Structure 1
Amino acid sequence: MAEEPIDLIRLEGEGNSVVLRITGRERREHPGRTDVLAGEFRIDTPFVSGGLPTWLLPGDLRQWQQALDLLDAGQDIAWRADTRAPGLFIERDQDDDRCRVTVRDHSASLTAVTVTVPLADAWFDDAYRRLDLALETWPPEGN
């Protein structure tokens, strides 16, 4: 049975949303190549809507957990900033419960989209739950 897609990242509100949906594991036939998780960033606003396919390596999930910890501590984050994969950047607005979320395609379209969404404290519990669900559904190889 195929697993259902999981929204690893879901930031939404005020008519804007940024979602990273994992759709499944892609097996690599070549020996020594790590399987990847297939997914898509979806950005929807009243002004622009679009999607960007992506793949996640096992280390990306561990790095997302570290990024969540930093964001929860009040810091801005840059997740997958130094890779060929699309990167996610979140800047917290210290004056209210909003943040600026940017998805940047470093290699293919060379495009970035930034949206503003609310970031309430309750969002973090849900974000950690989504990460745990992804790790349970598609554990990194070797676990």
Structure 2
Amino acid sequence: MSERASDEAVELFRFGGPDSLNQIVLRLDAFQPRLAEGAIEISGGASGSFRTLVADLDLDAWRECLDNLDIDRGENGDRVAWRAGARAIEVHVEWDWEETVTVTVTDRMSAMVSVSMMIEGIDDRWFDDAYARLNAVYARVDQAAL
């Protein structure tokens, strides 16, 4: 993939802060029109990294996932799935209880592995940050198109 934006990576999502036992982060480091490349990095009770491509339609789908998680806020055990059934690494997020989710990363195509972690601290600040991260990625993908 040839990059048309700067080398600075941006995060599409981050579950777990610097003091969290578990963290799952999607860091994008290469951009071109309508496409970004990066890695989902997992640390804590398990660790690993999965390279992945993220298309502009995936960004729209992530916004929809955020909207649905934000609306429910764990009251009904709601869950969302990002890129489920697609030929890509999937991310499933399920509310466990207030401000705590279980995030499952599944790679059905190459590694054939699935990792689940409980993450705390999913509150108003987390959602504000999540939408800001998404908007930053949209801007980088748009910038690559210029």
TM-score band, normalised by shorter chain: 0.7 to 0.9
Structure 2 residue aligned with 1:98: 100
Contact 2:31 2:140 in 1 (8 A): no
1:12 equivalent in alignment to 2:16: yes
Take 1:43 and 1:25, find their aligned partners in 2: how far apart are those partners?
Answer: 22
Higher relative contact order (CA 8 A, sep 6+): 2
Structure 2 spans left out of the alignment, 5+ residues: 73-77
Percent identity of paired positions between Structure 1 and Structure 2:
31
TM-score, normalised by the number of residues in structure 2: 0.84
Structure 1 spans left out of the alignment, 5+ residues: 27-33
Q: Kindly report which structure 2 residues correspond to 1:1-143, keeping only aligned pairs within 5 A, or say none.
A: 2-13=6-17, 14-26=20-32, 36-45=35-44, 47-74=45-72, 75-94=78-97, 96-118=98-120, 119-139=122-142
Q: Render the CA deviation track for 1:39-88: whole Å, top value 9, x for unaligned.
A: 1000001x321100000111000111011100101131000001110000
Q: Render the CA deviation track for 1:79-120: whole Å, top value 9, x for unaligned.
A: 0001110000000023x3200000000111110000011112
Take 1:69 and 1:3, find their aligned partners in 2: how far apart are those partners?
Answer: 30
The DSSP-based 3-state class of the residue aligned with 1:92 is strand
Take 1:126 and 1:22, find their aligned partners in 2: how far apart are those partners?
Answer: 16
**Structure 1 residues 140, 72: CA separation in 2 closer, same or farther (over 3 Å shift)?**
farther
Take 1:43 and 1:3, find their aligned partners in 2: how far apart are those partners?
Answer: 22
RMSD in angstroms over aligned alpha carbons?
2.0
TM-score, normalised by the number of residues in structure 1: 0.86
Take 2:11 and 2:145, find their aligned partners in 1: how far apart are those partners?
Answer: 23
Runs of 4+ more than 4 Å apart: 140-143
Contact 1:20 1:41 in 2 (8 A): yes
